[in-house]
Amino acid sequence: MVRVRVNTSSKDYQIEIETGLFKQLPQLFKSRYQGRRLALISDDRVFGLYGRSFVQELEQQGLETVTFVFPEGEQQKNLESLKGIYQVLAEASFTRSDYVVALGGGVTGDMAGLAAATFLRGLGFIQIPTSLLAMVDSSIGGKVAVDMEQGKNLIGAFYQPDAVYTDPSLLTTLGDRLFSDGMAELIKHGLIRDKDLCQRLETLGSRSRITEHLDEIISVSCRIKGAFVEQDEQDTGIRQILNFGHTIGHAIEKVQQYNGLTHGEAVSVGMVHITRITERLGLTKPGTSQRLVGMLKSFNLPVVMPEISIEDLVRAIRIDKKSRSGLINIAYLREIGDCGLIKWSFEELEEHLFAQLEN
Ligand SMILES: NC(=O)c1ccc[n+]([C@@H]2O[C@H](COP(=O)([O-])OP(=O)(O)OC[C@H]3O[C@@H](n4cnc5c(N)ncnc54)[C@H](O)[C@@H]3O)[C@@H](O)[C@H]2O)c1
């Protein structure tokens, strides 16, 4: 078992990572949460795979459990589903000593977390991430939210979990494209802070070869994200380094109306393009973007800008990054394992993007 501690000003918690941990959870929960009620939140796919039997086992251990199951997909991360969770909690007369348990990917974790943050002004909150993206990224750091028609994650809060239980063996049922999606964030963590992790990923180089090392690799990734969260829980400074590749990535997702590249794929393209730009400007060690491309390709991530107009891309960045000063913080690599922030005006970013993409 690997334990990663995340010590923030609002909560001090542990991420426990171990292949096979999920099977042990009913007993572990009995010892840790006896007398508390649990509200298990899952989408229908994850509930069918893991949730139903988990609830039965929790009940066999004497833990009172209610469930809220919603249809899978980002479209369900909305106020209607959130209301559904509140109703379940209210009908079961949950009190502040009870727990919301998110069993699922980032959609489940974000929405369950917002319910936990707001119902009675704060219930206990446990994350059991089941997608790679949730294991290395969304289950850590306390950003919880739902979407609106007008945009993603518009209603949210910072609310750290009390505990995170991560079992990499749950990933055996995750499809390849979603696995790669999570790899984009995992690779990003190496790129911004840990050249040894990058070397390890380069050596292993594919899903099949990484599988038996997932406990170790996921823990390293969690430690990196956790350290940024500890330093800057509210995302006003250094935590913005975690946005490496995201300025361009978010814009691609937006231009494609969230129907094209997945989030991780868009971030992959974003990381490559920003690194090519900063390499041309002499801010990044030569050869970095080439290494980055190799790493991303080996995990089936795209590195080429999709067929979208640069004007649309730039417009989307302007909308996404509204800023009074007209300056935006861009995370960039000095070299593999070392990332900094630089402030550019929109005009500068546009100019660099045009120069790079028209080349
Ligand atoms: N809070 C944060 O810091 C943060 C960070 C990054 C992303 N996010 C959010 O995370 C969401 C994306 O996360 P996601 O990709 O996990 O989405 P998701 O929760 O929709 O999961 C993706 C799909 O994988 C399925 N799935 C999950 N685990 C599975 C498993 N073990 N086996 C088989 N299928 C499985 C789900 O049913 C779903 O269909 C977005 O809403 C994004 O905004 C949040």
Residues 182 and 108 in one domain: no
Cα(358) to centroid of ligand 1, in Å?
34
Chain segment 88-129, per-residue pLDDT in tens: 999 999 999 999 999 999 999 999 999 999 999 999 999 999
Residue 149 neighbours by CB under 8 Å, 6+ apart: none
Quick one: 286 exposed, middle or buried, by C-beta within 10 A (0-12, 13-18, 19+)? exposed
284 CA to middle of ligand 1, Å?
32
42 and 147 in a single domain? The answer is yes
Taking CB atoms and a 6 Å cutoff, what residues make up the pocket around ligand 1?
43, 45-46, 49, 72-74, 77, 104-108, 110, 130-131, 133-134, 137-138, 141, 143, 152-153, 170-171, 173-174, 178, 181
- Same-domain pairing of 56 and 69: yes
Q: Are both 311 and 192 inside the same structural domain?
A: yes
| Residue 322 confidence class, pLDDT cut points 50, 70, 90 | low
pLDDT of residue 150: 87
Residue 184 within a domain: yes
Mean pLDDT of 286-303: 97
134/57 Cα distance (integer angstroms): 23
Q: Is residue 216 one of the residues assigned to a domain?
A: no
Q: Is 31 exposed, middle or buried (0-12, 13-18, 19+ CB in 10 A)?
A: exposed
246 and 192 in contact (C-beta within 8 Å)?
Answer: no
In a domain, 228, yes or no: no
Residues 134, 199 within the same domain = no
Is residue 225 within 8 A of residue 242, CB to CB? The reply is yes
Q: DSSP string covering 39-106, please?
A: EEEEEHHHIIIIIHHHHHHHHHTT--EEEEEE-SSGGG-SHHHHHHHHHHHHHTT--TTSEEEEEESH
Do residues 182 and 104 share a domain? Answer: no
Q: What does pLDDT average to over the chain? A: 96
What's the pLDDT tens digit per position in 210-220? 999 999 999 99
Nearest of 265, 280, 104 to residue 188 by alpha carbon: 265
Residue 150: count other Cβ atoms within 10 Å of its Cβ. Answer: 6
198 and 68 within one domain? no
Q: Does 325 lie in the same domain as 184?
A: yes
What CA–CA distance (Å, rounded) separates 156 from 349? 29
Give the residue, out of 15, 42, 46, 78, with the most ligand 1 atoms within 8 A of its beta carbon, to mutate for a pocket test: 46
Q: How many folded domains does the chain comprise?
A: 2
- Confirm if 132 and 179 have CB atoms less than 8 A apart: yes
At residue 325 the predicted structure's pLDDT band, cuts being 50, 70 and 90, is: confident
Q: Does residue 153 share a domain with residue 187?
A: no
Q: Look up the domain containing 287 and give its range.
A: 176-206+236-357
Q: Are residues 124 and 151 in the same domain?
A: yes
Can you tell me which atom of ligand 1 is nearest the CA of 113?
Answer: 1
- Do 180 and 155 share a domain, yes or no? no
C-beta atoms surrounding 262 within 10 Å: 20
The CATH number linked to 320 is 1.20.1090.10
User: Does 199 score more than 80 pLDDT?
Assistant: yes
